[in-house]
Structure 1
Amino acid sequence: MRTFDLSPLLRATVGFERMMDMLDNPARFDEAPSYPPYNIEKHGEDDYRITMAVAGFSEEDLSITVQDNALTVEGKKERDQAKEGNYLHRGIAERAFQRSFRLADHIKVTGAKLENGLLHVDLVREVPEAMKPRTISIESAGSAGRTQVLENKAA
């Protein structure tokens, strides 16, 4: 029996997990790129931040797009032959990359900032008012005008 490591799927999902959608395509298990490294942080109830290590890239070399609940970060560095030089060791990759993240419904990108070689992409979950929990009053026939209140809490 073959076991699957689901951690690459969980790392690439922000907000509510879409496991069934991701499990429909088993080829995604082999597509876990490791460059550039990144963190996903949760700040508060509905705020998230993706931080990617993009040393050597400037704002002009990076592009961020959101389409169909997918956040895609691309980096393409234009090589300047005049600056190539003779390297004895070249450990800073500066290679082109494309990293995609599946976003849950109602996750919006609120901004991006590049500082000290780290690209920060801020996200927020904006649940529409119609989908938020609401309080429903329950009236009992024998309570002579007394009203009991049932509160729905978000999970």
Structure 2
Amino acid sequence: MALRTLSALPGFSDSIFADRFNRIDRLFSQLTGDAPVTSLPAYDLKKIDASNYLLNVSVPGWKEDELEIETVGGTLNVSGKRSENESQDEQGWIYKGIRRADFRLSFTLPEHTKVSNAKLESGILQVSIYQEIPENEKPRKIAIENTQKAIEHQA
């Protein structure tokens, strides 16, 4: 069994080049004005059935009042903004590895889509999405009529 000590300061145990992707990402983000990929929370999108979807966003340490979900036009926005009390509590930390930066995720929703509910459980924000396509817009098959009349043989 190998003994591994826990250092108060993060070391270079993985590789000296481990942070290179994050640096390049931040550089491109500064040039384009987009949020860096590393500052956005991870998410999963799952199709439950023909009309239900589930969006899971990883938000460890976030509280319900710090998160906002809104739909504007055909866009679903999920954002997080730290509370004032937490931003003042930055003293005394030796190392903070859990990222708590403000974020905003945007998703383009298909037509006739609604967010049915959302809940925060164990650091995962679950957003249920429902797509209801009206009957007049659903695909339907058109029967082809046979207009030829059968000729009967008379004897």
Q: TM-score, normalised by structure 2?
A: 0.66
Q: Which residue of 2 aligns with 1:95?
A: 101
Over residues 110-139 of structure 1, what are the superposed CA-to-partner deviations in whole Å (9 max), with x where a residue is unaligned?
111100000011111111111012343332
Q: Which residue of 2 aligns with 1:112?
A: 118
Matched, 1:138 2:144: yes
Q: Which residue of 1 aligns with 2:81?
A: 76
Structure 2 unaligned segments of length 5 or more: list them.
1-31, 151-155
Bigger radius of gyration among the two: 2
- Label 1:31 to 1:91 Cα distance change in 2 as closer, same or farther (>3 A): closer
Structure 1 unaligned segments of length 5 or more: list them.
1-26, 145-155
The structure with the greater share of residues assigned to strand is: 1
Distance 2:147 2:89 in 1: 84
Whichever residue aligns with residue 33 of structure 1, its letter is: V
1:37 CA displacement: 0.8
- Label 1:67 to 1:40 Cα distance change in 2 as closer, same or farther (>3 A): same
Distance 1:104 1:78 in 2: 32
Q: Percent identity?
A: 35
